[in-house]
Amino acid sequence: MDFSQLPTFRLDGKIALVTGGSKGIGLAMAGALASQGAEVIISGRNITDLEQAVGLMTSQDLSVSYIQSDVTDKKQVDDMINQIVEKHGSLDILINNAGMNIRKPLLEVEEKDWDQVIDTNLKGIFFVGQAASRQMISQKSGRIINISSILGGIGMPFQTSYAASKGGINQMTKVWASELSPHQITVNAIAPAYIKTPMTEPWLDDEERYKTIVSNTMTNRIGELEDLAGPAVFLSSDASSYVTGQILYVDGGWTAK
Ligand code: NAP
Cα of 98 from ligand 1 centre, angstroms: 4
The predicted structure's pLDDT at residue 65: 98
210 is catalytic: no
pLDDT tens track for 154-180 = 999 999 999 999 999 999 999 999 999
The predicted structure's pLDDT at residue 257: 93
Q: Of residues 66, 162, 194, 249, which has the active-site annotation?
A: 162
Beta strands, E only, the chain: 15-19, 39-44, 64-68, 93-96, 142-147, 185-192, 247-250
User: Which amino acid type is present at position 102?
Assistant: I
Cβ(45) to ligand 1 under 6 A?
Answer: yes
The predicted structure's pLDDT at residue 178: 98
Task: Write down the pTM of the prediction.
Answer: 0.98
Helix (H) or strand (E) holding 199: none
Cβ(70) to ligand 1 under 6 A?
Answer: yes
Mutate to test the pocket of ligand 1, among 100, 120, 146, 196 (most ligand atoms within 8 A of CB): 100
252, β-bridge pairs = none
Mutate to test the pocket of ligand 1, among 115, 123, 194, 197 (most ligand atoms within 8 A of CB): 197
Q: Span 49-77, mean pLDDT?
A: 98
pLDDT tens track for 207-247 = 999 999 999 999 999 999 999 999 999 999 999 999 999 99
In angstroms, rounded to a whole number, what is the distance separating the alpha carbons of residues 226 and 210? 19
Provide, rounded to the nearest whole percent, the portion of the chain with pLDDT above 70: 100
pLDDT tens track for 95-136 = 999 999 999 999 999 999 999 999 999 999 999 999 999 999
What does each C-alpha distance from 69 to 7, 41, 72, 82, 256 come to in angstroms?
A: 34, 11, 9, 12, 37
Q: Which residue has its alpha carbon closest to ligand 1 atom 41?
A: 195
The predicted structure's pLDDT at residue 253: 98
What does each C-alpha distance from 174 to 150, 168, 169, 181, 245 come to in angstroms?
A: 16, 10, 9, 11, 5
Side-chain-side CA neighbours of residue 233 (13 Å): 20
